[in-house]
Amino acid sequence: MAKAYEELELKDDFMFSVIMRDPKYVKPFLETILRIKIAKIEYPEVQKNIDIAAGAKGIRLNVYVEDENRCSEDTALTLNDGIVKIILNTKGTLDDVSPEMKRLLDYVDGKGVSDTFTRDLEEAVQSARQNEKWRLDYMTLQQEYRERFQEGKAEGIKEGKIEGKIETLYEELHMTVVEIAEKLAISEEEVQKIVDAL
């Protein structure tokens, strides 16, 4: 069961996406994670910067970041594609992060505000909870999720029935793949795939 909109927190994909649309939150967020001062932030694809569609599996935040030095090279990073992935874990126990990062992770984990930035984030979350357009977007998204779940469930049942029929026709009635495909009006490839899995 999905959370009610008024219960969403920053750690929830939808809330994170609406808060991080605003550069005033993205900038300190990224500065804390990357441990650099950022001169400016640009969203290279304005319409696609944050995808909160039903098919989204998480949040991808595409931003162009320019630090104060304009150019910085870390020779320890030797990636062919230039992409660096940072995974944040609020349940980590190594204490190998900065105090600012620890406070941010604790806030995301639901442990409350502990500094100016986490207080700003909490105020943004509270404000977002009052936004009726975002509430409607969230409810629409949840309805899409429910519909896709039901469609997937129905498709799974249908596939299970077809697999059962193919198994019966193949193993009990000793029909060939061609005969089964013709009888069920499906492709021979589909039948062969199921027969191979038996």
The more confident residue out of 4 and 70 is 4
Q: At a CB cut-off of 8 Å and minimum separation 6, what does 135 contact?
A: 5, 129
At 51 the pLDDT is: 47
With a cut of 70, say whether residue 6 has pLDDT above it.
yes
The percent helix, strand, coil of the chain (3-state, each to 5) is: 55, 5, 40
Q: At a CB cut-off of 8 Å and minimum separation 6, what does 134 contact?
A: 5, 18, 128
Yes or no: say if 118 and 11 are a contact pair by the CB < 8 Å rule: no
For the residues of 116-127, what is the DSSP string, one character each? HHHHHHHHHHHH
At 156 the pLDDT is: 74
The amino acid at residue 87 is I
| Phi, psi angle pair for 196, to nearest 5° | -65, -30
Yes or no: say if 124 and 22 are a contact pair by the CB < 8 Å rule: yes
Q: Which has the closest alpha carbon to 86: 114, 65, 68, 107?
A: 65
Local confidence band at 48 (pLDDT 50, 70, 90 cut-offs): very low
Residue length, the chain? 198
17-45 pLDDT tens trace: 899 989 899 999 999 998 888 887 777 65
At 47 the pLDDT is: 39
At 62 the pLDDT is: 59
143-171 pLDDT tens trace: 988 888 888 878 877 778 888 888 888 88
Local confidence band at 8 (pLDDT 50, 70, 90 cut-offs): very high
At 28 the pLDDT is: 93
What gap in Å lies between CA 45 and CA 41, rounded to an integer? Answer: 12
Q: Where are the domains of the chain?
A: 5-130, 155-197
With a cut of 60, say whether residue 81 has pLDDT above it.
yes
- Which spans in the chain are helix H? 13-19, 23-34, 99-108, 116-129, 132-167, 177-184, 188-197
What gap in Å lies between CA 193 and CA 157, rounded to an integer? Answer: 18
96-152 pLDDT tens trace: 889 999 999 999 999 999 999 999 999 999 999 999 999 999 999 889 888 888 888
